């Protein structure tokens, strides 16, 4: 499984690099090649504007990864800070912060992100913003739970009685113990942010034309499914292979670091 | 119990506040965004008064709540229809779809999970686990088109999209149900494996009960508890998933209404759809909690 997941990731990395070296053009329109099936010129065929599907897939993966990493880093920073504070102080601070996360959790899945992008307007900046606004909650919950159980550990109490300040206690004595569990969570969240980005782009709310995005390509693929079924198939397979590889990587990290988390 | 009701009420209040504030996040003047630049001054003022945007925030919120209590969700900007009428025609379609998906998810997930648990460590278990991991990696906007391609376009067994035929619901329901069944399979497997090592299972076997009775009457009953919780939580992604699935299959439910309203910048409708979906989720979770208490006599109502 580990080798399987790793080889998919390496495959995509190499594909992107080779694409860069070959200088594949993702936005060149060729009206003679509209919805062409795979050929020597367009290895995976062409889309509804005659653009090379392979080049667009390779551009889409970079956009998708970029969004996933930015969102994961920001949500982790915000969420972990909130969680550490809530777990450390307890009492009213905790009750207040957790009430806020409860409200966010009352919106199922990506509904809230859809709502935010709907009012903020489509586009990559607002997409990242919406995914950040809704994504920090799971980190906050996770970090709070862990901090609650670490708060009264001997080494934390010892440091506290030696006069360590609160930021020092949180950063030097509690945060390092959260490292592995956060890393596993971050891996899964990479995959879920990529799905969320694709979902929003599929609905026309994410990355805008002419930039390539797997979600938007899937939407076009569905639209032209009757005449060019290869379009939706190759984009879908690409997305699935990547999500699967990342999730398997998450499973591997989880088993290796021996942490128990809700994998969803 | 009292604390729980209080907590749910405060969550619902927060949901209302957040959906209410949505319209105020529109960059610039929401009136202009909705009506376009060509709208006359009089039309703009009329809409501003109609939406209450000329009042202060707190008084807007209180009149929003007041209207909600009277089931008044406002009017669509484009069709001028009362939104509650739109919801009334669209919501049942979504409920039907969600319910059938749940049924499909349960009827695939639980038997498959039981099978995997009974064959734990054998190749059958590994195959089931890989398939269920793979399926959960298939979001609706990928599985949906594939099913459409195979069963509607190539085989021609089922309608491509729309709601005209009685069979129209099958593809969207299977799309949603498959994702759910993948998670349920994994959950049933883990939960059953934990129970199977318990003393009372050994006792049941020692009494000479058939393996079938042991599994179904004794083990599965206890293993079902975490499954109930998961189903409740998954209803959330199911509800959110309807937004995409309904769009793919042109299923006229509330999810599609949401997407259409976003495309038309009909913010009051968007707001209402978000609110209804979120409230449905809160209610489902409440029901899950109640169901859990019935299923597990150990959890007392206190």
Q: At what angle do helices B83-118 and B254-263 cross, to 10 degrees?
A: 130
**Mean per-residue pLDDT over chain B, rounded:** 83
Q: How confident is the model at residue A262 (pLDDT cuts 50, 70, 90)?
A: very low
Torsion angle of C-alpha atoms A120, A129, B246, B146, degrees rounded to 10: 140
**Facing residue for A106 by CB, picked from B139, B142, B282:** B282
Contact B15 A218 (CB under 8 A): no
10 Å CB burial of residue B181 (0-12, 13-18, 19+) is buried
Chosen for mutation from A4, A104, A115, A261 (greatest number of chain B CBs closer than 10 Å) is: A115
**Mean per-residue pLDDT over chain A, rounded:** 85
Q: Are B242 and B255 in contact (CB under 8 A)?
A: yes
Tokens at B302, concatenated:
């206190």
pLDDT for residue A263:
38
Mean pLDDT of B153-180: 83
Mean pLDDT of A172-185: 88
Which residues does chain B have within 8 Å of residue A107's beta carbon, measured at their own beta carbons? Answer: 15, 18, 274, 277-278, 281
pLDDT for residue A140:
93
Walk me through the domains of chain A, giving residue ranges and CATH numbers. Answer: 45-263 (1.10.3720.10)
- Report the candidate in B286, B253, B280, B281 with the shortest Cα–Cα distance to residue B161: B253
pLDDT higher at B198 or A145: A145
The nearest alpha carbon in chain B to A222 belongs to: B145
pLDDT for residue A259:
61
Q: Does the structure show a pLDDT above 70 at B46?
A: yes
Q: Does the structure show a pLDDT above 50 at B302?
A: no
Chosen for mutation from B13, B14, B137, B189 (greatest number of chain A CBs closer than 10 Å) is: B137
Report the CATH fold assignment for B83-295: MetI-like fold (1.10.3720)
Phi, psi for B164 (deg, rounded to 5): -70, -45
Contact B133 A244 (CB under 8 A): yes
pLDDT for residue A261:
46
Alpha-carbon distances of B6 from A141, B24, B158, B217, B299, rounded to whole Å: 21, 28, 47, 37, 20
Contact A99 B263 (CB under 8 A): no
Contact B27 A121 (CB under 8 A): yes
How far is the first Cα of chain A from the last one, in angstroms, to the nearest whole number?
19
Give me the DSSP letters along chain B: -HHHHHHHHHHHHHHHHHHHHHGGGSSS-HHHHHH-TT--HHHHHHHHHHHTTTS-HHHHHHHHHHHHHTT---B-TTT--BHHHHHHHHHHHHHHHHHHHHHHHHHHHHHHHHHHHHTTTSHHHHHHHHHHHHHHT--HHHHHHHHIIIIIIIS--S-SSSSSSGGGGHHHHHHHHHHHHHHHHHHHHHHHHHHHTSHHHHHHHHTT--HHHIIIIIIHHHHHHHHHHHHHHHHHHHHHHHHHHHHHTT--SHHHHHHHHHHTT-HHHHHHHHHHHHHHHHHHHHHHHHHHHHH-TTS---
């Amino acid at each position: 499984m580990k080798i399987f997941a790793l080889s998919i990731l390496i495959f995509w990395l190499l594909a992107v690099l080779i694409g860069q070296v070959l200088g594949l053009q993702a936005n060149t329109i060729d009206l003679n090649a509209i919805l062409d099936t795979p050929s020597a010129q367009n290895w995976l065929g062409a889309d509804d504007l005659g653009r090379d599907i392979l080049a667009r897939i390779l551009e889409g993966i970079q956009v998708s990864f970029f969004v996933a990493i930015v969102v994961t880093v920001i949500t982790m920073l915000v969420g972990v800070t909130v969680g550490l504070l809530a777990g450390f102080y307890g009492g009213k601070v905790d009750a207040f912060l957790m009430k806020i996360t409860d409200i966010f959790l009352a919106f199922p899945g990506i509904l809230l992100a859809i709502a935010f992008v709907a009012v903020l307007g489509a586009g990559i900046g607002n997409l990242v913003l919406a995914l950040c606004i809704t994504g920090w909650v799971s980190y906050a919950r996770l970090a709070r739970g862990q901090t609650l159980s670490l708060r009264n550990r001997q080494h934390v109490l010892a440091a506290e009685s030696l006069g360590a300040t609160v930021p020092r206690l949180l950063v030097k004595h509690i945060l390092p113990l959260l490292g592995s569990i956060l890393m596993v969570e971050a891996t899964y969240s990479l995959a879920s942010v990529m799905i969320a980005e694709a979902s929003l782009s599929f609905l026309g709310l994410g990355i805008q034309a002419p930039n390539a995005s797997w979600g938007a390509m899937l939407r076009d693929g569905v639209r032209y499914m009757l005449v060019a079924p290869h379009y939706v198939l190759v984009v879908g397979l690409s997305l699935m292979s990547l999500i699967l590889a990342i999730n398997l990587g998450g499973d591997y990290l989880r088993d290796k670091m021996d942490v128990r988390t809700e994998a969803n | 119990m009292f604390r729980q009701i209080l907590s749910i009420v405060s969550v619902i209040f927060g949901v209302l506040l957040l959906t209410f504030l949505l319209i105020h996040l529109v960059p610039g003047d929401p009136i202009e965004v909705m009506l376009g630049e060509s709208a006359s001054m009089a039309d703009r003022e009329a809409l501003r008064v109609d939406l209450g945007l000329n009042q202060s925030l707190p008084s807007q919120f209180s009149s929003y709540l007041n209207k909600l209590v009277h089931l008044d969700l406002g009017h669509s900007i484009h069709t001028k229809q009362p939104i509650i009428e739109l919801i009334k025609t669209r919501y049942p379609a979504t409920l039907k779809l969600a319910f059938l998906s749940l049924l499909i998810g349960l009827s695939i997930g639980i038997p498959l999970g039981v099978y995997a648990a009974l064959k734990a460590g054998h190749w059958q278990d590994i195959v089931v686990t890989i398939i269920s991991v793979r399926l959960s990696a298939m979001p609706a906007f990928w599985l949906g088109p594939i099913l459409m391609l195979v069963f509607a376009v190539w085989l021609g067994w089922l309608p491509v999209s729309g709601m005209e035929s009685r069979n129209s619901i099958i593809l969207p329901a299977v799309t949603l149900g498959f994702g759910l069944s993948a998670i349920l399979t994994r959950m049933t497997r883990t939960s059953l494996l934990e129970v199977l090592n318990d003393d009372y299972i050994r006792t049941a076997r020692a009494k000479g009960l058939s393996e079938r009775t042991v599994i179904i009457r004794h083990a599965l009953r206890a293993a079902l508890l975490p499954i109930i919780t998961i189903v409740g939580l998954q209803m959330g992604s199911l509800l959110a998933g309807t937004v995409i699935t309904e769009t793919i299959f042109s299923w006229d439910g509330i999810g599609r209404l949401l997407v259409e309203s976003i495309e038309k910048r009909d913010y009051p409708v968007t707001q209402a759809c978000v609110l209804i979906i979120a409230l449905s989720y809160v209610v489902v979770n409440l029901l899950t909690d109640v169901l859990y208490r019935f299923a597990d006599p150990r959890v007392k109502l206190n």
